[in-house]
Chain A
Amino acid sequence: MALAGVGGQDRKPKAAAYGTSPWVLVASLIGLVIAAFGVMALVDKHGGVNILAWFYDQIGRATDATALRNGGGDQFYAKLILAVVALYVGVGGVWLVFTGASTIVERFPAKLRDTVLPWIFIAPALLLLGIYLVYPAVGTVIRSFQDKQGAFTLDNWTVLTTGPFLEILRNNVLWLFITTAGSVGLGLLVAALFDRIRRESLAKIFVFTPLAISLVGATVIWKFVYAQQPPSQPQFGLLNAIWTAFGNKPIAWATTFPINLPAEMIIMIWLQTGFAMVVLSAAIKGVSVEVLEAARLDGASERQIFFGVIIPLIRGSIITVTTTIAIATLKIFDIVWSMSGGINHDSVVAVRMFQEMFQFFNDGHAAALATILFVAVLPVMFLNLRNFRRQAAM
């Protein structure tokens, strides 16, 4: 860690090029002032419109300016201007802050500089993490023990043991186990199968691509697969078309409890299998040839090699994939919310929390539900920390 003393006492003149010249400082200060105006335009809900209207006024197109201010005209360009301002402030502004601050600090005496500089580098990150994650997390836990007047209560927690909430918790547990096991199991199967075919990377693209699709988009895709028509009419949903071809009556897969639970889980499994496949496939390819050859020489069958040799060797990757998918599944919201809104006995914690916030206006309940999710990830958090401590000797 020799870096702290970098550029110290005998700095050579050529090194004074970037980051130390006073002009850099002046330029960044000017840039920051412009950025401050940008922030003002951004916080204002009509910022983009105002800028464009002002510009139209300057070039003498008063009618266009008025139209814009009244909510008509080229709203598209107003938004585009806002986006450009945003990029300037968001990216340029952050760079200017770092450049300006570093330039000032590098004029400090060496010792003071070395103390201050790292803090400047991490300050924006710490500020955002503090405001957006640490403070709210603590606030949410506290709020879960408060009633609407702010007095201490356990009601938010005891209500979770009543009917509808128990159903929600049960659904979340089912999601957690079935979806995670399904995705990891299928991912492992697909990785092992595809490992043995010639056009492996092409085949992988098919399974992998859904990962790029939004959960809402995927829900629409599957809603169409599950679509149901009355028995007298032709079934245009793929699943019911196949189902009725065997002489069965069409089923409303997406809305009939309890079949709607697996119907929704399949969407998540369909998306996450690709992720599991990629990680596990890389891990399988990491198993050394020598080990496989030795096992085969010992007379082990393909199946024995897979379960007895490969799986134990890639255990670490399996755990990583499992925890990642489990955490994503725990927070599942989009699929249930856009499939049914959770009205068919299929609600989950995140959906109910959203409803408590925006429909029932009961922040105490919402906070308790969020805290449940938080408590559920604590084991993973400790696992991560332990692994990290073991890896890095900081």
Chain B
Amino acid sequence: MTADAKPMAAARVRTRFWRAPLLNSLPLRLSVLVICLLWTLPTAGLFVTSFRNPQLITKTGWWDAIFNAFAPGQWTLSNYQNVLGGDNMGTAFLNSLIVTIPSTVIPITIAAFAAYAFAWIPFRGRGIIFTIVVALLVVPLQMALIPILKIYSGASLYGTFVGIWLAHTAFGLPLAIFLLYNFMSQLPRDLFESSSIDGASAFQTFIRIVLPLSIPALGAFAIFQFLWVWNDLLVALVFLGVGKDVQVMPTALYNMIGPRGGAWHLLTAGAFLTMIVPLGVFLALQRAFVRGILAGSVK
């Protein structure tokens, strides 16, 4: 959807040209520093506080702890121990994994088959159906909540993992199909012709050629969907609810905010626990994530 990156060499030439007059300018360096600080300090405060002695958190600011980092009794791990045990964050962590992994893998599988058919197998009604998929890209999921909830309470799917997997799968499908279609339709036609000469069926062509070649697109969507599902609060609240045995991490964190506005030692530790997995995934797979964003910024 967006401009393609130019070849590396051209980018390098351009950058050198662009930088020359400004490289040493102090205002530029200062403003970059300020921006980086603004985007880091809030999270840093949370992180530092989550390891502080609960008694000290409301007595002094978290920056004080950094200046007095070696004062006795400054740091503790007890906040994390309390949150994991007493606030069911441990269970919520496991629930989040149980919800997120199938909710990521299932839509990819279903969308890959569909995108392949849309891109390479002509059939009647293909254009119309795909247009509907594109239209569904932007439909707010709020439109789906009431009727689905009615179905779920009738079919006793409310509060089950199956229910939320199906919901996340369906809500992720339009983007998944769209992204994978864009990628697969760009594959060279020769591939399919030679495969056809070898006598491979459509199914075999899909498994042997299309799927392995589409791994970059599959990976990009996987990261996208993983982060979206892991961080989601609304769908989890509506379809899973706040039961201790099924609640996911954002729900658990939300529950901690309400009754204990002042329990910052627990709230900060809980918040940081919810971030570990997405931050890890994100920092490890940043390139693929950026690729996904550049390809799919339509949702």
Binding site for B on A (CB under 8 A): 1-7, 10-12, 14-15, 17-20, 39, 42-43, 45, 75-76, 79-80, 82-83, 86-87, 90-91, 94-95, 98-99, 102-103, 106, 115, 117-119, 121-122, 124-126, 128-129, 131-137, 139-140, 143, 190, 193-198, 203, 205-217, 219-225, 227, 229, 233-238, 241, 270, 273-275, 278-279, 282-283, 285-286, 288-289, 292-293, 302, 314, 316-317, 320-321, 323-324, 327-328, 330-331, 333-334, 337-338, 350, 353-354, 357, 363, 366-367, 369-371, 373-374, 377, 380-381, 384-385, 388-389, 392, 394
Q: Hey, which chain A residues are within 8 Å of B202, CB to CB? A: 3-4, 6-7, 102, 117
Q: Hey, which chain B residues are within 8 Å of A86, CB to CB? A: 98, 102, 161-162, 165
Are the C-beta atoms of A6 and B161 separated by less than 8 Å? no
Are the C-beta atoms of A285 and B11 separated by less than 8 Å? yes
Q: With the chains together, A392 CA to B181 CA distance in Å?
A: 11
Within 146-178 of B, Cβ neighbours of A (below 8 Å) are at 146-149, 151, 156-157, 159-162, 165-167, 169-171, 173-174, 177
Q: Count chain A CB atoms within 10 A of each CB in B91, B167, B200 and give the residue with the most.
A: B200
Binding site for A on B (CB under 8 A): 1-6, 10-11, 13-15, 17-19, 21-23, 28-29, 31-32, 35-36, 39-43, 45-46, 49, 57-63, 91, 94-95, 97-98, 101-102, 105-106, 109-111, 113-114, 116-118, 120-123, 126-127, 129-149, 151, 156-157, 159-162, 165-167, 169-171, 173-174, 177, 185, 189, 192-193, 195-196, 198-205, 207, 227, 230-234, 237-238, 245, 249-250, 253-254, 257, 264, 267-268, 270-271, 274-275, 278-279, 281-283, 286, 290, 293-294, 297-299
Are the C-beta atoms of A214 and B46 separated by less than 8 Å? no
Q: Count chain B CB atoms within 10 A of each CB in A20, A80, A118 and give the residue with the most.
A: A118
Are the C-beta atoms of B203 and A122 separated by less than 8 Å? no
Are the C-beta atoms of A324 and B297 separated by less than 8 Å? yes
- Given A98-B113, A220-B268, are A373 and B61 also a contact pair (CB < 8 Å)? no
Closest A residue to B61 by CB, please name it.
A236
Are the C-beta atoms of A94 and B109 separated by less than 8 Å? yes
Q: How far is the CB of B137 from chain A (nearest CB, A)?
A: 6
Q: With the chains together, A278 CA to B57 CA distance in Å?
A: 36
> Could you say which of B114, B257, B275 contacts A338, with CB atoms under 8 Å apart?
B257
Closest A residue to B3 by CB, please name it.
A286
Are the C-beta atoms of B203 and A19 separated by less than 8 Å? yes
Q: With the chains together, A323 CA to B98 CA distance in Å?
A: 32
A-B contact pairs, 21 of them (CB 8 A): A3-B196, A3-B205, A4-B202, A15-B199, A39-B162, A118-B126, A128-B110, A128-B166, A129-B132, A193-B31, A198-B23, A220-B270, A221-B271, A222-B42, A229-B58, A238-B45, A275-B297, A282-B2, A289-B17, A328-B299, A377-B138
